[in-house]
């Protein structure tokens, strides 16, 4: 769907993040939502009620369509998180339990 300009053109450092247990190349400090838009199935989550796939939309933290699990923290906004070496990102396929999955 989307294509990243190479690090030789942007001067960025390539790192590896893990999306759904698969290693993915990303640029250090790149928004995670931008990385998700390059990796099939190009979605970030499924809606809790209908199970419809959702993808990053506004890229500025307003719409909440980019919610993912980042390093075990559910419902994190992917557009507001920057890629760093070794991050573990999981697409959300169910509604998180607020008592156990929000760092409480």
- The pLDDT tens digits for 80-102 are 999 999 999 999 887 766 666 55
The set of residues, in sequence order, having a beta carbon less than 8 Å from that of 53 and lying 6+ positions away, is 41, 43, 45, 46
Say what the pLDDT of residue 104 is.
47
The set of residues, in sequence order, having a beta carbon less than 8 Å from that of 46 and lying 6+ positions away, is 52, 53, 54, 91, 92, 93, 94
> What is the rounded average pLDDT for all residues in the chain?
87
38 exposed, middle or buried (CB, 10 Å; 0-12, 13-18, 19+)?
Answer: middle
- Provide the percentage of residues in the chain whose pLDDT is more than 90: 65
Say what the pLDDT of residue 12 is.
80
Q: Which of the two residues, 87 and 2, has the higher pLDDT score?
A: 87
- SS3 of residue 19 by DSSP: strand
61 confidence band (pLDDT: 50, 70, 90)? very high
- DSSP single-letter state for residue 4: P
Q: Which of the two residues, 11 and 7, has the higher pLDDT score?
A: 11
Specify whether the CB–CB gap between 59 and 33 falls below 8 A: yes
Question: What count of other Cβ atoms lies within 10 Å of the Cβ of residue 98?
Answer: 10
Q: How far is CA 96 from CA 1, 28, 53, 71, 100, in A?
A: 28, 28, 16, 14, 8
């Amino acid at each position: 769907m989307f294509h990243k300009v190479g690090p030789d053109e942007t001067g960025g450092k390539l790192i590896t993040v893990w999306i759904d247990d698969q290693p993915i190349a990303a640029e250090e400090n790149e928004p995670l939502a931008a990385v998700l838009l390059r990796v099939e199935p190009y979605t970030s989550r499924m809606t809790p009620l209908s199970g419809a796939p959702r993808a990053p939309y506004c890229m500025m933290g307003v719409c909440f369509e980019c919610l993912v699990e980042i390093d075990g923290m559910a419902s994190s906004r992917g557009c507001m998180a920057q890629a760093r070496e070794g991050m573990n990102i999981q697409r959300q396929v169910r509604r998180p339990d607020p008592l156990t999955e929000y760092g409480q």
